Amino acid sequence: MKKALIVIACIAIAVIAIGFFSNQEDRSLPQGIMADRVLVEKRARKLTLYREGRLLKAYQVSLGKQPVGKKTEEGDGRTPEGVYSIDRRKMKSTFHRALHISYPNRGDLAQAKARGISPGGDIMIHGLFNGLGFLGKLHLVDDWTAGCIAVTNPQIEEIWRTVPDGTKVDIVP
């Protein structure tokens, strides 16, 4: 029994330490700098901000539960692929801040219509579930969204202030 408690205590300490150290953010972008392009590379699980072709900063992300392949219909758990833009912001959401992506675009709508299905929607770049921000980068352990692109809460704060509405979003395999 004593051995089991020691093992449990060690696991708890390890989880707390990993959570603490994984939440340490690297350099912040300077105030006032604005991105003009967001690139999401699904295979690399990476979101990169650019300004006039120059890399500003990259973030590791979690994607939809079924990350391989292009989103084709509502509920498929996939993150879309294509060219979109940030078309609105949600300060109050289930997640800590959210930037709405203009999915579905005309091509997505045409493909869905031809198949007689709903393409889905409400795809966003967002933080973690409200109240779970302490998880930090532990959210990267698995893809868990319904098709959105998730980052930590400090990261979405930075992305929120750096990416204006209308910014181009390229999502590639």
- CB-neighbour burial class of residue 94 (10 A; exposed 0-12, middle 13-18, buried 19+): exposed
Biggest CA pair distance of the chain: 64
Note the pLDDT of residue 134. Answer: 94
The total of structural domains in the chain comes to: 1
pLDDT digits (tens, 9 = 90+) for 150-163: 999 999 999 999 99
Q: Which domain holds residue 65?
A: 2-172
- The confidence score (pLDDT) of residue 91 equals 87
pLDDT band at 20, cuts 50/70/90?
very low
Q: Residue 16 carries which side chain, given as an amino acid letter? A: I
Q: What is the DSSP string of 144-160?
A: -BSS-EE--HHHHHHHH
CATH label of the domain that carries residue 7: 2.40.440.10
Phi (first) and psi of residue 11, to 5 degrees: -65, -45
DSSP 136: G
- pLDDT tens profile 67-118: 899 999 999 999 999 999 999 999 888 999 999 999 999 999 999 999 999 9
